[in-house]
Amino acid sequence: MPILRLPSRGVSSNTVVFPSLFLPKHNQLRLSPACITPIRHATSPPSGENPLARPGFSKLVKEGTSSDGTGTTSKISSYIEKAKATMKQYYDGAFLLKEEGKVAKNLKFKSDYEGYELTRKEYMLIERNKEDKRRLYPFFALLIILPESIPIVLLKAPGMIPSTMQSTADVEKRWAAARKTRLELGKQIVADPSKYGLHASPESFLKSSFLFSLSRDQSTAKNFSLDSLSSTQLKTINQYLGLWRFGPAGMLRKPLKNHLEVVRGDDKFLVREGIESLSLTDLRAACEARGITTAESSTEQLKADLQEWLDIGVQAKKEGVEVPEGLMLLTAAVRVGLRGGMAEPVKEEVSHPEEGQVAEPIAATA
């Protein structure tokens, strides 16, 4: 209710009148606008005072919010632009998923019925498209059951959506988080290897010959097969690889089997084509699929780690031994916990420019 002050017309100038809201309309006080002088609000600046010099205004400026609301408007505009970019990213990713599905279907048909020999890129395209389509099922289930949770899933768990809809920043963030998780799991296994079924010193798993001797033992090889792994081992391996890690052993074993089936097929192509043919993106993706950390690792270190993984499989076949997948992955975790990777750390030579020369900048590899 505004407070009004009357000018002096037989009434003291300090008299304050409150219009009544409870009297009938004909009994209420009626004044013309010219006779009313509003009382100045206590927070309005006095005459001649600069409003920008008030103490509260500087805080608003520091926080980026102006008194006329332009700061709030700019924030809303930035949110709108970000939402538009995100929607465009998902739209383009859905279109790319559809096109890759057509190509993968044709390649699969040629390979199965026409004897066409796939390359590694074509093989990985087929398997990636298959996995992307598999990710759509829980996404559609959420869309039907709990549609309001979709924005939270897209922001907090971008790995649940198809790879064609993920940005480079999302992938880099996920790989950085995976490195931290793998280092922690590796240190836990090194601290208590018997808890995970490894009844030997962690340093023993740095030698490939020790793996081969364990694999020759039928009882040990059977204990580390996928069908014999315990829930603790399955949960650790799935968490190490970034797979589903909740539920009973059956729910943990199925995604691990699907993942390792793709890895085994990829190993054959890498042995045949060589790792030198891989681009940096393909090299990092291949390492991540095998639990080899790529964040903060040089290209040479990644090549050495991936080659060590392949050499174990190739050397084991030459000696007539098959290393169980569970033992292979737990060994990788132990090696990451001990030295940060599958292979020995690669020492990079740093060349110092001669006096009078300027060193060229080195491009980032990640």
Residues 193-214: tens digit of each pLDDT? 999 989 899 999 998 889 899 8
115: left (phi over 0), alpha (psi -120 to 50) or beta: left
Q: How far is 10 from 58, CA to CA, in rounded Å? A: 46
Tell which of 112, 132, 166 closes a domain.
166
Q: How many residues does the chain have?
A: 366
| Cα–Cα dist 233/241, whole Å | 12
At residue 217, φ and ψ (nearest 5 deg) are -75, 120
Per the structure, the complete domain to which residue 108 belongs is given by: 84-166
Whether 208 and 334 map to the same domain: the answer is yes
**pLDDT recorded at residue 173:** 87
Tell me: do 176 and 307 sit in the same domain: yes
The closest of 235, 226, 225, 222 to 195, measured between CA atoms, is 235
- pTM of the entire predicted model: 0.71
Per-residue pLDDT averaged across 40-66, rounded?
Answer: 50
CA–CA gap between residue 328 and residue 331 (Å, rounded)? 5
pLDDT for res 307: 93
* pLDDT of 178 over the 70 cut: yes
d(CA 282, CA 231): 32
Q: How confident is the model at residue 348 (pLDDT cuts 50, 70, 90)?
A: low
pLDDT (0 to 100) of residue 12 = 47
Supply the mean pLDDT for the chain: 78
Cα–Cα distance for residue pair 262/266, rounded to 1 Å: 6
CB–CB of 67/57 below 8 Å? yes
Is there a single domain that holds both residue 124 and residue 225? no
Q: How confident is the model at residue 347 (pLDDT cuts 50, 70, 90)?
A: low
Q: What is the pLDDT of residues 293-339, one digit of tens each?
A: 888 889 999 999 999 999 998 888 888 888 998 999 999 999 999 98
Kindly state whether residue 356 falls inside one of the protein's structural domains.
no
Q: Which residue has the tokens 């998902």?
A: 90
Is the separation of the CB atoms in 83 and 75 below 8 Å? no
Three-class HEC string of 194-220: HHHCCCCCHHHHHCHHHHHHHHHCHHH
Count how many domains the chain has: 3
Q: Is residue 103 domain-shared with residue 239, that is, in the same domain? A: no
Whether 162 and 175 share a structural domain = no
Query: Residue 230 has what pLDDT?
Result: 92
Average pLDDT on 339-353 reads 64
What integer pLDDT is reported at residue 57 of this predicted model? 46
Distance separating alpha carbons of residues 131 and 265, to the nearest angstrom = 15
Residue 95 has pLDDT above 60, yes or no: yes
Read off the pLDDT of residues 223-282 as tens digits, 9 standing for 90 and up: 899 999 999 999 999 999 989 888 899 899 999 999 999 999 999 999 999 999 899 999
Q: Which of 169, 191, 168, 171 is nearest to 179 (CA)?
A: 171
The residue among 131, 166, 201 that closes a domain is 166
Res. 356 pLDDT band, cuts 50 70 90: very low
